[in-house]
Amino acid sequence: MDLTPGTLGTWQSSSPYEIDAVTPFGLVVAYIPRAMLGAHADRLYRATATPIGDSTGRSRLLRAMLVQIARGLQSGDLDTRDAEIAESLLRLLRGAPADRAGRSGVAAVIRRARLERCRQDLLDPRLADHTIFEIATRWGFVSAPHFTRTFHRTYDCTPSE
């Protein structure tokens, strides 16, 4: 993959790779465990050594966010344990349809937010003793089959995955 200034790319660190620098450069690397990518991991891994997007839209936001996070961590302005920053970065990287929310109805925006809170709770080790349906009902879902279908349609994996 040829990286030019501002280009984003992915690779999985379990595969060998080599970086040949033709000129001096700065590089921002974000290590994200596969488990945090969820159902999107395979899609992102298939894109290994392929530039992500172009210089517009989501990729421009992701690039700017990565640069600002790197600067904030370097200066000490950001805490490495800030889950909100990490989650925002993951949403952009996974390609979650955050930019589509403005074109859909209020109900879709609310449902998406409730699903996201469920996903966060399902990933939270402190809530491992709760059932999937307990977590779903906490965020307003009243039918286990409906929750499972909606979750799968949104995240391309089941809640248990």
Question: 108 vs 114, which has greater pLDDT?
Answer: 114
Residue type, 35: A
Closest listed residue to residue 7, CA positions, set 67, 58, 53, 71: 53
Residue type, 28: V
What are the pLDDT digits (tens) for 115-152?
A: 999 999 999 999 999 999 999 999 888 889 999 999 99
Q: Helix, strand, coil: what percent of the chain each, to 5?
A: 55, 0, 40
pLDDT at 105: 65
Give the tokens for residue 89: 């970065």
